[in-house]
Amino acid sequence: MDVIVIGGGLTGVTTAYQLRAAGHRVCVIEQHATVAQEASFGQGGLLLPTPLDVWFGPGLAFGMRQMLFGSRNGMIYQPGLSAGARRFVRQLNAAREPEPFAAQCEKLRPLIELSRRTLVEMESRHAMEFEQRDGVLHLFRTPRELKQAASALALLAQFEYPHQVLDGDGCRGVEPSVPVGEALAGGVFFPYERSANCPLFTKQLKTLLDEHDVEFALGRRADSIRLDSGRVVVEMTPQSDHANGHRGATESIAGDALVLAAGANTQALLAQAGMRVPLYPARVHALTAPIGYEEHAPHVAVVDYESRVSISRLHNRMRYASAPVLQGRRKTFRTTPPKLRERALDTLGQAGHTWVPGAAKLSAMRDWDSVTLLSPDGLPVTGATAHPRLFINTGHGPGGWGLACGTAKIVADLVSGQTPEIDSNTIAALSPARFGHS
Ligand SMILES: Cc1cc2nc3c(=O)[nH]c(=O)nc-3n(C[C@H](O)[C@H](O)[C@H](O)COP(=O)(O)OP(=O)(O)OC[C@H]3O[C@@H](n4cnc5c(N)ncnc54)[C@H](O)[C@@H]3O)c2cc1C
C-alpha cells in the first residue's frame, strides 16, 4: 500500500520505519526542514515511563492550593477561565486513587514492554549509537514522598520491574554526585531503564529510511486531508510560504492510508475528518548546558520524585526537563507569559541545584520548550479511527520517547490488517474509539 504519514517527529518516523518494514511504500510529510524539530527535539532523554513516573496517579494533585501557591509536583497549573483545562484536570485527578491507577498501569505495561523490545531490536539490527546510558535513579526527599509513592512501588514489585529500593546512603552509592548534606529519605534505582538522545535517534532512522526509499516531503505543511472510500488525499504547501504570509502552489499527494502523527497539531487535522479526541496540550520545558565539572556530573539519570524533573546526561551536556505548564488551550499554543515561564525554569533549575550541584555550566544554560498532548486517562491515542483509511498515533505526553517504538509497531500492524502482538486490552485502551468520539 501507499501510506502517508503526517509528522516527522519521533512518532511519525518510527511509524514510517515499521510501515516500511511491513512492505509499504511510505511518504512522511514534515513542515520543518528536517525531522525531530518539535517535542522530539530538546526533550528529557529518559525512556519513560515506569509506574513511578507516569503522568497520572498518586503523585499528581491539582486544585486551588496548587493554583495559588504552586504545586510541589512540578506542574504549573493556571487554568484562568478555561473550562477545558479544569475539566481535563478533574479527569486526571480521577486516576489518582490506587485502583484506577493500577488499572491504567496494567493496560500500559504491555506497551512499555513492546516499546523497549522494539527499540532494542532496532538498535541491534542497525548498530545504532545514540548516546544510550543505563540506569535511572528516582530520589525521594521525605518519608511523606515515599508514602505517597506506595501504590507505584507496589506495582513495581507486582510487575517484577528490575529495581532496587535504597536508603540515602544506597542512593549515594549508586550515584556519588548526589550531595551528602541534602535531605534524602531514599530512592528507587532502575539498573536497566535508560536515557538516550531522542532527536539523534530520529535523525539516524531518517537516514536509514532514505536508503530504503521512504520519501520525506520536508518543508511541507499538510493543510488539508480528504478521505473517501478509495483513496486519501493530503494537500500541502511549502512551509516557507506560511512564514512569508502568502500561499504558494498547493501540492497534492494521494495514498491508500493516512497516519496522523503530527504531535500537537494532530487534533486540528483530525477535526477535518469530523473526528475528535479529548487530548489536552501542555507546554513542557527543558534546560541544557555543557557539563561544568565532570566530577559533579551524574553517571545515571536522576529524577526528583516530587517535582518530576528529570536530570540526564547526554554526551557532554546536562539536561533538566519537565515543569509542564497547563493553561487554557489557546494560551498554551502562544508564547508562555514570562512569569509562568520563569516558574517553570526555576523548577528545573532548583532540581538541578539540589541533586547535581556544579554539574552544569550555568553561564551556558539554554532553555527550550514545546507543546505535547496529554490524554485524560494517561495513555497515548494509537490505532484505527472510524474511517478505515485513517489511523492516529499521538498523545504520548511526557512519555513519548519510551512508548513511540511500540505504538509505531501497533499502527503498522493495523494498517497492514494484522493483529498486533500485544494484549487486546491494551489495544482497546489505546484506541481512539475508547473516547466514543471517533
Ligand atoms: C521538554 C520535554 C521533555 C520531554 N521529556 C521526555 C522524556 O524524558 N522521556 C520521554 O519518554 N518523553 C519525553 N517527552 C515527550 C516526548 O518527547 C514526546 O512524547 C515525543 O517527542 C512526541 O513525538 P511526536 O513525534 O508525537 O511529536 P513531535 O516531535 O512534536 O512531532 C510532530 C511533528 O509533526 C510536524 N507537523 C505538525 N503538523 C504538521 C503539518 N500540518 N504538516 C506537516 N508536519 C506537521 C511537526 O513539525 C513535528 O515535527 C518530553 C517532551 C518535552 C516537550
Helices vs strands, H then E, count in the chain? 14, 18
What kind of fold does domain 2-38+200-278+378-435 have according to CATH? FAD/NAD(P)-binding domain (3.50.50)
Residue minimizing CA distance to atom 19 of ligand 1: 400
User: Phi, psi at residue 5, to the nearest 5°?
Assistant: -115, 125
Query: By alpha-carbon position, which residue is closest to atom 18 of ligand 1?
Result: 400
CATH-assigned architecture of domain 64-95+133-194+281-374: 2-Layer Sandwich (3.30)
Q: What does the alpha-carbon distance between residue 261 and residue 259 come to, in Å, rounded to a whole number?
A: 6
Ligand 1 center to 382 CA (angstroms): 15
Q: Please work out whether the CB of residue 221 comes within 6 Å of at least one atom of ligand 1.
A: yes
Comparing CA positions, the residue from 322, 320, 324 lying closest to residue 360 is 320
Q: At what angle do helices 198-211 and 10-21 cross, to 10 degrees?
A: 30
pLDDT score recorded for residue 297: 96
- Give the ligand 1 atom nearest the CA of 47: 11
Are 2-38+200-278+378-435 and 64-95+133-194+281-374 equal in CATH topology?
Answer: no
Q: Say how many Å lie between the CA of residue 333 and the centre of ligand 1.
A: 14
Give the per-residue pLDDT at 378. 92
Distance 400 CA to ligand 1 centre (A): 8
- The residue whose grid cell reads 507543546 is 371
Residue nearest to atom 17 of ligand 1 (CA): 40
Instruction: List the chain pLDDT tens, one digit each, 438 residues.
Output: 999 999 999 999 999 999 999 999 999 999 999 999 999 999 999 998 999 988 888 766 555 555 555 556 778 888 888 999 999 988 888 888 889 999 999 999 999 999 999 999 999 999 999 999 999 999 999 999 999 899 999 999 999 999 999 999 999 999 999 998 878 999 999 999 999 999 999 999 999 999 999 999 999 999 999 998 889 999 999 887 766 667 668 999 999 999 999 999 999 999 999 999 999 999 999 999 999 999 999 999 999 998 999 999 999 999 999 999 999 999 999 988 999 999 999 999 999 999 999 999 999 999 999 999 999 999 999 999 999 999 999 999 989 999 999 999 999 999 999 999 999 999 999 999 999 855
User: Residue 352: beta bridge partners?
Assistant: none
Q: Is 39 in the pocket of ligand 1 (CB under 6 A)?
A: yes
Q: Which numbered atom of ligand 1 lies nearest the CA of 48?
A: 11
Q: Where are the domains of the chain?
A: 2-38+200-278+378-435, 64-95+133-194+281-374
Whether ligand 1 lies within 6 angstroms of the CB of 398 is answered as yes
Ligand 1 pocket, 9 CB below 6 A? Answer: yes
d(CA 144, ligand 1 centre) in Å: 34
Residue nearest to atom 16 of ligand 1 (CA): 400
For the question of whether the overall pTM of this predicted structure is more than 0.75, the answer is yes
Predicted pLDDT at 95: 80
Q: What is the pLDDT of residue 161?
A: 93
Other CB atoms within 10 Å distance of the CB of residue 129: 12
Residue 8 near ligand 1, beta carbon < 6 Å: yes
Q: Which of 195, 198, 207 has its CA nearest to residue 38?
A: 198
Length reported for the chain: 438
Cβ of residue 31 lying under 6 Å from some atom of ligand 1: yes
Q: So what's the pLDDT on residue 79?
A: 87
Please work out whether the CB of residue 265 comes within 6 Å of at least one atom of ligand 1: yes
Q: Can you give the pLDDT at residue 67?
A: 54
The pLDDT, as a whole number, for residue 187 is 96
Torsion of CA 324, 325, 329, 331, to 10 degrees: -140
b/e map of 18-38 (b: 16 or more CB within 10 Å)? bbbebebebbbbbbbeebbbb
Is the C-beta atom of 6 inside 6 A of ligand 1? yes
Give the pLDDT confidence score for residue 210 in this predicted structure. Answer: 98
- 288-308 pLDDT, tens digit per residue, is 999 999 999 999 999 999 899
